[in-house]
Amino acid sequence: MITRRDCLLSPAALAAASTAAASGPAPVVISSANGLRACTRAMELLKTGADTLDAVIAGVNIVEEDPEDVTVGYGGLPNEDGVVELDASVAHGPTRRCAAVAGLRNIKTPSKVAQRVMEQTDHIMLVGEGALRFARAHGFKEENLLTEKARLAWMVWKQSLRDASGHNNWAPGLWAPSAAALKSRFPQVDEATLAWAWQVAVHPPTGTINCLSLNAKGEMSGVTTTSGLAWKIPGRAGDSPIIGAGLYLDQDVGAAGSTGRGEENIRIAGAHTIVENMRHGMSPKEAVLDALKRIERNYNGNRDLLAKFDINFYALRRDGQHAGGRLWSGPHASYAVNDGGASRLEPCVCLLQKRG
Ligand code: GLY
């Protein structure tokens, strides 16, 4: 039966959706580029008939627990006090429910805590100390999430700070070290690690993982999880735990999520914007491009200001069509896809081309 909502989709989308409705869509999982293993795990679980949300959470748990991903979970870069604070959100299409946690300390898997909030409370969002107490009450293990690698990067960041007169309280003498002087300050650390620490000290990363799934019954779910902006003010929540920004899902239309500079996403309610764009007939690619254009508009197209950050969007329509979008072109402009075989990276559509 064609509903009023179907009529808002383009003829091509309507045809694809009708075919999918008749035969069931082909299962698919997409994620940010750091989620190849997450997509593989989620697809394995979808094939066993697992719930779509359980599948994507199991997928992103791999990255949350991986100390080498410094933008998510354990090993994430800390706030300005050297404390790792995590944000996550989940959305479950079949029950049309969602939930989030923000500023959660000491728990490796904030996505699981958000799922517990969704399933065990009538609240949508828990933050800070309340989120930690809730996690404790539900038996989550408390751990120190700050790895040695992340602590080193935080120390390098501290030593790169100067006040208006150029003074730094965290380094001996009157001047903070140059990149070249770091080796004498941290003699036990290898040069590649020091170069990385200097890079993230000067350009704080906003990594994150978003993962979206669709099963053969047409059910969808999504999750976004992050340690947020490195060196943030304690208590800063980015877009990842904001339903409608870092994650949004309408089982009748599709799902969207984001990684990158969260403040820019919140200002355009990016994930909600993308799902509404698809509801009104845009393809996933058109929908993510439109969201990127809204960010460009917020700076009146000023390239010098836009060059100070980057942001990615991911869209999965209920018929299985998908897209990734990124503000700036470059070697990292890709997203992960698994449609039943091996996980692979596909190119994002990019709004702006880097000069030179
Ligand atoms: N997108 C992650 C953050 O800005 O916190």
Kindly state whether residue 17 falls inside one of the protein's structural domains. Answer: no
pLDDT per residue as tens digits for the range 241-283: 999 999 999 999 999 999 999 999 999 999 999 999 999 999 9
Q: Is the pLDDT of residue 5 over 70?
A: no
- Token pair listed for 27: 């299962």
259 CB within 6 A, ligand 1 = yes
- Which of 225, 226, 310, 312 has the most ligand 1 atoms within 8 A of CB, as the residue to mutate? 226
Q: Is the pLDDT of residue 4 over 50?
A: no
DSSP 3-state percent helix, strand, coil across the chain (nearest 5): 35, 20, 45
206 CB within 6 A, ligand 1 = yes
Ligand 1 centroid to Cα of residue 87, in Å, is 8
Ligand 1 centroid to Cα of residue 265, in Å, is 9
In the predicted model, what is the mean pLDDT of the chain? Answer: 91
> Which amino acid, residue 281?
G
Q: How confident is the model at residue 2 (pLDDT cuts 50, 70, 90)?
A: very low
pLDDT per residue as tens digits for the range 302-338: 999 999 999 999 999 999 999 999 999 998 899 999 9
Q: Are residues 84 and 108 in the same domain?
A: yes
Q: Are residues 183 and 55 in the same domain?
A: no
Please give the average per-residue pLDDT across 110-124, as a whole number.
98
Ligand 1 centroid to Cα of residue 244, in Å, is 14
Q: Are residues 240 and 332 in the same domain?
A: yes
Q: Are residues 114 and 138 in the same domain?
A: yes
- Annotated active-site residue in 71, 208, 226, 273: 208
111 CB within 6 A, ligand 1 = no
Please give the average per-residue pLDDT across 82-100, as a whole number.
98
Q: What is the pLDDT of residue 303?
A: 95
Q: Is the pLDDT of residue 3 over 50?
A: no
229 CB within 6 A, ligand 1 = yes
- Token pair listed for 88: 């996550």
Using only the alpha carbons of the chain, give its radius of gyration.
21
Q: Is the pLDDT of residue 41 over 70?
A: yes
What domain range includes position 48?
A: 25-145+204-352
Q: What is the pLDDT of residue 156?
A: 87
- Which of 211, 265, 295 has the most ligand 1 atoms within 8 A of CB, as the residue to mutate? 265
Total domains, the chain = 2
Q: Taking a C-beta distance cutoff of 8 angstroms, is the pair 222, 212 a contact?
A: yes
Give the rounded percent of residues in the chain with a pLDDT score beyond 90.
77
Sign of the torsion angle spanned by Cα atoms 270, 107, 62, 27: negative
Known catalytic residue at 208: yes
DSSP state of 243: B
pLDDT per residue as tens digits for the range 45-88: 999 999 999 999 999 999 999 999 999 999 999 999 999 999 99
Helix spans in 48-167 (H):
52-64, 110-120, 128-137, 148-160
Model confidence, pTM: 0.90
Ligand 1 centroid to Cα of residue 91, in Å, is 18
Please give the average per-residue pLDDT across 288-313, as a whole number.
96
- Which of 239, 243, 263, 264 has the most ligand 1 atoms within 8 A of CB, as the residue to mutate? 239
Q: Are residues 166 and 283 in the same domain?
A: no
Q: Which residue has the tokens 């999750």?
A: 223
218 CB within 6 A, ligand 1 = no
pLDDT per residue as tens digits for the range 212-234: 999 999 999 999 999 999 999 99
Q: Are residues 233 and 130 in the same domain?
A: yes
Q: What is the pLDDT of residue 280?
A: 98
Lowest mean pLDDT, pick from 2-16, 17-31, 119-133, 146-160: 2-16
CB burial class (10 A; 0-12, 13-18, 19+) of residue 158?
Answer: middle
Q: Are residues 92 and 30 in the same domain?
A: yes
Lowest mean pLDDT, pick from 2-16, 52-66, 116-130, 325-339: 2-16
- Token pair listed for 236: 């800063």
Q: Are residues 159 and 272 in the same domain?
A: no
240 CB within 6 A, ligand 1 = yes
